[in-house]
Structure 1
Amino acid sequence: MSSRLSPRLSPGTRRDDTDLECVRTTKKQGKTMASDAAQKTILKLILSLPSPILRAMSGGGVVYKGGRTLDPRFQFFANAAKKLPPMTSLSPAEAVAGSAKGLAAVQGPLETGVRTESLSVEGPNGSIPCRAYRPPQTDAKAPLIVYAHMGGGVIGDLETCHAFCSILSRICSTTVISVDYRLAPDHKFPAGLEDVLAAYRWARDNTARFGAAPVPPAIGGDSMGGNFSAIIAQEMKRTGEPQPTLQILIYPAVDVASETASMTTYADAYPLTRATMDWFMGHYIGADADPADPRLSPDKTADLTGLAPAVVATAGFDPLVDQGEGYAKRLQAAGVPVSYRCYDSLAHGFTAFTGAIPAADDACREIAWLVREAFEKRTL
């Protein structure tokens, strides 16, 4: 007699009916996967067309704004997005599902030789799911990297920056720990921040497990993840804990009430608009939260001296571009070593487009090399 447990059947349900339903479900899943693969192949072929043809397919003409020229492939996606309902019209659950499906079509593959491992870290409200990206060869002199994904504190998960985390891991020859922090509106500020902070402290105490240098990890993220990263560096200073080895701030949101020029110039940019930012903050911030709180807006902190060195990267077509550049300049003025890059032709969220936009993939690899160079400048 087989020791395998049989599935429990509902009263009146025959075994044949259950088996048939399993077959139908499997076939349906197979068709969905085949359809997704076919769509991704077609999209790849379209995006390989010459720039003039892509621009013609995207409404014609070249998109200039604020002295910058939008990448034709981002222009293609921006034009296609006009046919979809805006995120502001969706519920958070609908936005999560729609974003995940869209990113799956443009995400690049896992880097060759990089392995992933599921982790569970104890947080302030239970276990925090994390994913470790282990490189083909670990450099024992390289620090760990703790990474927080974008998504306005409302959407996103471990898949959001999957390819980029693997790029960081391979190029920097170290383990990257991606954090699946709690999301609003179910978990408003500061829940997500607290999860990333807990994961950072756990990683700091477990460097030997990953063969990394016995120094504080680097802390990094894009958009809201960049917000968390800047805040955590400031929190380490406030509590007297060691600074992270490096801050990796990619198009960071550093002032949730910002009124910089780029908030107007790129108010209708793709994929992040001013209205979408307001939608995010409406879900993320509780009624009692103060937008000037440095744990919401790290740019409101007056004294930035003594913070960790930083790699700061921004996208040209992004309402947040002025925030990121301004924060980089403030760090430099405070004596913090900073490597800054603005990718003028790219849009917010480019770390998730490595499989669809060559310029985005190039930018992600350059950022990873900047991180590696920053690691190599430090001494144990």
Structure 2
Amino acid sequence: MALHPQIAEVLRTLPAPPDGPLDPVAMRAAEESQVTPLDERLPLNLVLDTTARTTSGDVPVRIYRPTDTETSGVIVYLHGGAFFLGSLETHDHVARALAKESGLTVVAVGYRLAPESVFPAGLQDCCAVLRWVADGHANGGVVRWDGATLAVVGDSSGGTYAAAVAAMAHDDGFDRITHQVLFYPSLDLDLDVDRYASLRENAVGYGMETAGLKPFNAFYLDSGADPADPLVSPIKRTDLTGLPPALIITAEHDPLRDEGELYGTRLREAGVEVTVSRYAGAGHGFVQHFSWIPDYHRAIEEAGEFLC
């Protein structure tokens, strides 16, 4: 189907991107300026900013508890932003919605960003927070994980990290991850436009454009991330057996659509339980930017159902 009319209307109002090199500082400031005021956000039982003291150093996290239960399952949420954008603030509404729809505690990770922090700093932060969440002694009981559901969830580049974290945990013998949810993940940073049909079909006019992938990912790749490394491009991992069950959400008009769906196929062929859901009329980033549209809030509801 065509791009959803409400999404198309919003895209028509956006200014053309500025000429010249990308400015991470200015782009982050512009993102932060669009954050919903605190008093207009979805209320939850508890939202707590704290610091995870981990083997990777001190990592800022935000804990969202939807109910006053003694313990619960936990989602470790990794925000998107091409590895150089995004924050606990810009994706606060996504974390709140995940907590509400799943009934689980969400721990959002304020991992280090490129280009200031070189690879694999951000990925190490995500892995270390996962271990911190699972270790009640390390986190001082603030997370209150019940020892059951432990999910890694990420959108876009956060989906890259979620897939990589699941693989690293498996390789390290940490078998406590029960689910992974990848919203329109970036899984192949090789960026060969002939590798996936969606890179050409959705190249222009749907928000994120194929020509923008290289400059947006350049901050990460120039920091030492090798696209041939399966921790950078999870789809390049040869052995996917033993990974946790996955829900992969893709968007019809996303240049990254086909790599997400191929990853789902490869997981299934490796014996992993997988659900792949393509959202018609949507483009990349729809969970972050357009979940106020009921058709697309459904993706967060679907994640909640998958995790329960």
TM-score, normalized by length of structure 2? 0.89
Q: CA deviation at 1:193?
A: 0.8
Q: Which has the larger radius of gyration?
A: 1
Q: Deviations over 1:137-159 (max 9, x none)?
A: 4384x521100000010101002
Q: Match of 2:92?
A: 162
Give the SS at the match of 1:341: strand
Taking the TM superposition and a 5 Å limit, the aligned residue runs for 1:180-219 are 180-206=110-136, 209-215=142-148, 217-219=150-152
Q: Match of 1:242?
A: 175
Taking the TM superposition and a 5 Å limit, the aligned residue runs for 1:1-380 are 68-81=1-14, 83-86=15-18, 89-102=21-34, 104=36, 110-123=41-54, 126-138=57-69, 140=71, 142-206=72-136, 209-215=142-148, 217-258=150-191, 259-286=195-222, 288-354=224-290, 356-372=292-308
- The letter of the residue matching 1:278 is K
For the aligned residue pairs, the C-alpha RMSD in angstroms reads 2.4
Distance 1:73 1:268 in 2: 18
Distance 1:188 1:202 in 2: 22
Distance 2:183 2:212 in 1: 18
Distance 1:251 1:114 in 2: 29
Q: Give structure 1 stretches of 5+ with no counterpart.
A: 1-67, 373-380
Q: CA deviation at 1:292?
A: 0.8
240 and 356 in structure 1: CA distance in 2 versus 1, 3 angstrom threshold:
closer
Question: Contact conserved, 1:313 with 1:341, CA < 8 A, in 2?
Answer: yes
Q: Deviations over 1:24-46 (max 9, x none)?
A: xxxxxxxxxxxxxxxxxxxxxxx
212 and 72 in structure 1: CA distance in 2 versus 1, 3 angstrom threshold:
same
Question: Contact conserved, 1:120 with 1:129, CA < 8 A, in 2?
Answer: yes
Q: CA deviation at 1:125?
A: 5.3
More helix by share: 1
Distance 1:266 1:349 in 2: 14
Q: CA deviation at 1:335?
A: 0.9
- The letter of the residue matching 2:247 is V
302 and 286 in structure 1: CA distance in 2 versus 1, 3 angstrom threshold:
same
363 and 88 in structure 1: CA distance in 2 versus 1, 3 angstrom threshold:
farther
322 and 138 in structure 1: CA distance in 2 versus 1, 3 angstrom threshold:
farther
Question: Contact conserved, 1:138 with 1:174, CA < 8 A, in 2?
Answer: no
Distance 2:118 2:100 in 1: 34
Give the SS at the match of 2:146: coil
Distance 1:161 1:78 in 2: 20
Distance 1:116 1:192 in 2: 23
99 and 271 in structure 1: CA distance in 2 versus 1, 3 angstrom threshold:
farther
Distance 2:267 2:46 in 1: 35
Distance 2:89 2:224 in 1: 32
249 and 132 in structure 1: CA distance in 2 versus 1, 3 angstrom threshold:
same
Instruction: Tell me whether 359-368 or 320-329 shows the greater mean CA deviation.
Output: 359-368
Give the SS at the match of 1:77: helix
How much identity, in percent, do the aligned residues show? 34
Give the SS at the match of 1:169: helix
- The letter of the residue matching 1:138 is T
Question: Contact conserved, 2:61 with 2:107, CA < 8 A, in 1?
Answer: yes
Give the SS at the match of 2:188: coil
Distance 1:288 1:119 in 2: 29
Q: Deviations over 1:161-220 (max 9, x none)?
A: 212211221222221000011111111321111111111110011385433321472111
Q: What is the number of equivalent residue pairs in this alignment?
A: 302
Distance 2:183 2:202 in 1: 17
Distance 1:145 1:284 in 2: 25
TM-score, normalized by length of structure 1? 0.73
Distance 2:70 2:178 in 1: 15
108 and 102 in structure 1: CA distance in 2 versus 1, 3 angstrom threshold:
same
Q: Give structure 2 stretches of 5+ with no counterpart.
A: none
Q: CA deviation at 1:341?
A: 0.9
Distance 1:72 1:331 in 2: 34
108 and 297 in structure 1: CA distance in 2 versus 1, 3 angstrom threshold:
farther
191 and 85 in structure 1: CA distance in 2 versus 1, 3 angstrom threshold:
same
Distance 1:236 1:355 in 2: 30
